[in-house]
Amino acid sequence: MKIQVADLHFKLLIDSDKIAKRVKEIAEQISNDYCGRTPIVVGVLNGSFLFTADLLREIDIPVEVAFTKLASYFGGTSSTRKIRDDFDIAVDIKGRDIILIEDIVDTGNTLHYLVDKLSVREPASIVACSLLLKPKALERTVDELKYVGFEIRNEFVVGYGLDYKEQGRNLKGIYKKV
Ligand code: IMP
C-alpha cells in the first residue's frame, strides 16, 4: 500500500511488529551489557523520540535519560552535511557510561560530531545505538556504533520518528520513498 507524506509517495519497508521485536532484542542486549551499571541513555532528537521511548520501556536495568537535539537534513531527502546544534544535554557526563540513541546513521557525520563533542567531557564510555543504518551511505566509520536495529539500502525513509518535511514521524512502521 502506498502512502503520501507531503509531496512524496512511500511504501512499507519495516512493519511495527518487526520494529517492536527488534527493539526488545536490542534492549535485552543493552540490559545484559550494562548489568550492574547505570548508563545515561541520550536520545538524539527529533528523530529518535519514539525509538528512545520504546527502547527504554524494554530495558530492565536502572538507567538515566537525557536528550540532545541536532539537525542535518533540513526538509530534503539527502544529507546537507551541515549540522545544526539545537540543544545540548543538561547533565554532567564525566565518568558516566553514555548510550547515544539515533534514529538513523546515514553518512555518519552527525554521530561523529556528537561523539567528538561529548568525548572531551570525559565520560567513562560512549557507545551509540541506531535503529537504522545505511551502510552504503557511510562516509566515515563510527567505531562507537555498537547496536543497530536494521541495515537498509541507500534509500530515503520516513516513519517511527523519521520525517520528511517534518511530517511522517507518527507513522507506526518505516516507509521507503518510491
Ligand atoms: P548523517 O549525519 O548523514 O548520518 O545523518 C543523520 C541524520 O540525518 C539522522 O539523524 C536523520 O535525522 C537524517 N536522515 C538520514 N537519513 C534519513 C532518511 O532516510 N530519512 C529521514 N531522515 C534521515
Ligand 1, closest atom to CA 164? 21
Cα-to-chain-centroid distance, residue 89: 16
Confirm whether 33 is a catalytic residue. Answer: no
On whether the CB atoms of residues 11 and 4 are closer than 8 A, the answer is: no
92: domain CATH number is 3.40.50.2020
Where in the sequence is the domain holding 69, given as residue range(s)?
2-73+83-166
From 54, 97, 103, 106, active-site residue:
106
Asked whether residue 177 is assigned to any structural domain, the reply reads no
Q: What is the pTM of this model?
A: 0.96
Ligand 1, closest atom to CA 106? 4
Asked whether residue 176 is assigned to any structural domain, the reply reads no
For residue 143, which amino acid is it?
A: D
- Spell out which residues line ligand 1, taking CB within 6 angstroms: 47, 72-73, 79, 102-110, 156-158, 162
Q: Would you write out the chain's pLDDT as a tens digit for each of its 178 residues?
A: 899 999 999 999 999 999 999 999 999 999 999 999 999 999 999 999 999 999 999 999 999 999 999 988 777 888 777 899 999 998 999 999 999 999 999 999 999 999 999 999 999 999 999 999 999 999 998 999 999 999 999 999 999 999 999 999 999 999 999 9
